[in-house]
Structure 1
């Protein structure tokens, strides 16, 4: 056997072993070690050929039949790959019924041999439909059965399932568990799989996202540097834009605003002419926030206005509400009260429609500040009172305190002494509640 044949035979042996649910330890004995079996499966050329024949005999494989088996298996998998790719494309296009119909049209033989792939595809459908519980159940089954599915190594099925599980946990803001799933996905990767590089980058970026959410900025930035070195090999523009956005967000978090602006602008230039609206929205958002933090309000205004122009292409309406609130805040800082009022009313309407307590209270407080700056104190009081009720209901004590502070300021300006005293007392009570779990030296 030459080197090429050794590689193909090794891959086939590995496939048969995994299909049968055997570990390396299950096949090793006094004549062949787990290390030798691993070398055979990886096609290492210096392995004694007698060891290869011995291992094949243990698995009941005839060397003369292997080329035909490999050719037949390759043709079968390539044919299936077309079908599964078509199904996944239907899922990405949002045509779930057609995807499910294609899955149900698969033969009984395919269904029995590729349970892991079918569970994974169903998990993807539930994920896109935002049914996280069902998605996690299907993806967990895909991982459990991955070793039995001959299609699994072709598409990094186990790693892909862990990545999707991580994304499910991120939707619940369970960053710790999401990070654990990413690490398991990275452990499941081997460099033998055809799409190793793309899946590797996706998992690395998911790890950075979670480290950022856990305020582990130094680790996250080191992760960005690792992916940055791979940029010349990354073909997906979506992944490239995500990398630029993460670097810019981390730099902004570290208050390196000009560096954040630089990378956000570079990323947004790469996005020009593409249909990667999600990446574009994210890059322009971090650019706008960085301008705002740096005090470059005119630039922040232009950037936020462009962010909102992209709104119809954004699926996550929370980001759109946040951008509207931020633009309203920029208008406030510039003294453009009427423009602030108009955009903040739009933000409030969107926040109420998605039942988001934090963003609703944010829009109400900013609206109250706009009204107060226009000397419309009674309107301002109404907004601050509504914001306080929502903040209290959602246990946002910092916001409750801010609302009472604003109310006290309004009451003082219109000479309502009793109500001023009442608001001040409520501020004190709220501060006491905030201090309960704090320790002081």
Structure 2
């Protein structure tokens, strides 16, 4: 009787083991290539939905887990520490049953075999592949960019190198020389320049436009920003470009197209980003500026999706987090629940905080002939407000110094609200024009 009982127990155990094996085998292998902010947000959205049917693997070329690239500037400035911006250390993946392959690059997608080939020669299979490979720093048409001490400002590795060199040159550099040269007057360049200036370096920023943040601000607001940053010890060369960097092995200076020359021991190129489209396009996926996706983040291959800075949607590419977060929601809904949540590339305002100065920009920022221009300016307080109206509706907002009403203006703009009745009060703030609305009601 005992032997019969043991046989029955063994049969049950084997049966349950077979069921578990079948369940494990039928889980869908989801492979995410890239471990930046887009991949990290997608993981959050997947876990929020449960998705027990997915067996998730993440491949990242950096050793540490996903971190917040927006916080690289505070790390450079010494306002926070590198470990504090890593939102997903290796233990985070392990604790959630996610396989994390770090420090590895994918060099090819083999679509017929549904696998990727890594630079180490290994192959990882997938049932569904997500490309979240982001972007890389844009290049500039200048000679001798292979010199030492010339960097990008994109990764924690970049920040670490900059901090080490900044410490060295601050201690040993000659005060008659420009310590650091930063190329790019966009947000990334401004933050790099400010962070290096806080480290005690003499910094010169070069920008080919006539004013800073020329894609978000008009020349007046850009001028206000320049004055603030000059007070922080940053010099500027505007309306000019670097033609060539000088030095034999290490950077010693730069020659500009205007003929001007500057000496420097450290250079940072921060002129924007270029989508990493090559991996997807080399595999035959559709796309021009980046990997093309539809409104659910599906590529031209039904087994491959893409999100973030490496994608293009209706000819547009992305660098702000708000639309990328929406892309992650659309993709997670499709992968987990087979639900269609179309991605809409809605306008988003640009909210910036550069060197403690608040900036807000939405819609059009340059005044045209068809615009009615409303401006408030207080030079002593460092406040500038500009609203652009067309057909009695707000089509553009530029705020410097005082951005409290930015979201309110943006809501009026997106809702295409007729503001003719409150136009004279708009620049005074919502306490005035909302009161006018209440009285009219």
- Please indicate, yes or no, whether the TM-score normalized by the shorter chain is above 0.5: no
Q: Which has the larger radius of gyration?
A: 1
Q: When you count strand as a share of all residues, which structure comes out higher? A: 2
The answer to which structure, 1 or 2, has the higher relative contact order (CA under 8 A, 6+ apart) is 2
Q: When you count helix as a share of all residues, which structure comes out higher? A: 1
TM bucket, shorter chain: under 0.3
